[in-house]
Amino acid sequence: MPAVRTTPVAAVDSAGLLAELRLAGNNPGALYGADVEAPGAGHFSSENPAGGNVLAEIGRASIYDYERVIESAVQAAARLGALPAPARGELVRRIAVRLREQKPLLAMLVSIEVGKIRSEGAGEIQEMIDIADFAVGLARQFGGRTLASERPSHRLFEQWHPLGVVGVITAFNFPAAVWAWNAFIALVCGNAVVWKPSPKAPLVALAVHRIVAAEAAAAGMPGVFGLLLSDEALLGQRMAGDTRIALLSFTGSSAVGKTVAQSVAARMGRSLLECSGNNAVIVAPDADLELVAPAVLFGAVGTAGQRCTSTRRLIVHETLYEPLLARLARAYARVRIGDPLDAATLLGPLIDAHARDLFRAAIAEVCAAGGEIVFGGRHLDGPGYFVQPTLVRAHADWPVVRRETFAPILYAMSYRDTEEAIALNNAVEQGLSSSIFTRDIATAEAFLSARGSDCGIANVNCGTSGAEIGAAFGGEKATGGGREAGSDAWKSYMRRQAVTINWGRELPLAQGVHFSLDD
Catalytic positions: 274, 308
Q: How many angstroms from the chain centroid is the CA of residue 207?
A: 18
Task: Show the 3-state SS of 37-85.
Answer: CCCCCCEEEEECCCCCCEEEEEECCCHHHHHHHHHHHHHHHHHHHCCCH
187: part of which helix (H) or strand (E)? Answer: helix 177-188
From the number of C-beta atoms within 10 Å of its C-beta (0-12, 13-18, 19+), residue 18 rates as buried
**CA-based Rg of the chain, rounded to a whole angstrom?**
25
From the number of C-beta atoms within 10 Å of its C-beta (0-12, 13-18, 19+), residue 127 rates as buried
Pair 440, 286: CB distance under 8 Å: yes
Residues 428-450: b if buried by 16+ CB within 10 A, e if exposed: bebbbbbbbbbeeeebbebbeee
CA pair distance 210, 367, nearest whole angstrom = 47
Residues 208-222: b if buried by 16+ CB within 10 A, e if exposed: bbbbbbbbbeebebb
Determine the 3-state secondary structure of 311 from DSSP: strand
Query: How far, CA to CA in Å, does 184 sit from each of 131, 178, 192?
Result: 7, 10, 10
CA torsion, ordered 199, 29, 42, 349, to nearest 10 deg? 20
Half-sphere exposure of 349 (CA within 13 A, CB side): 31
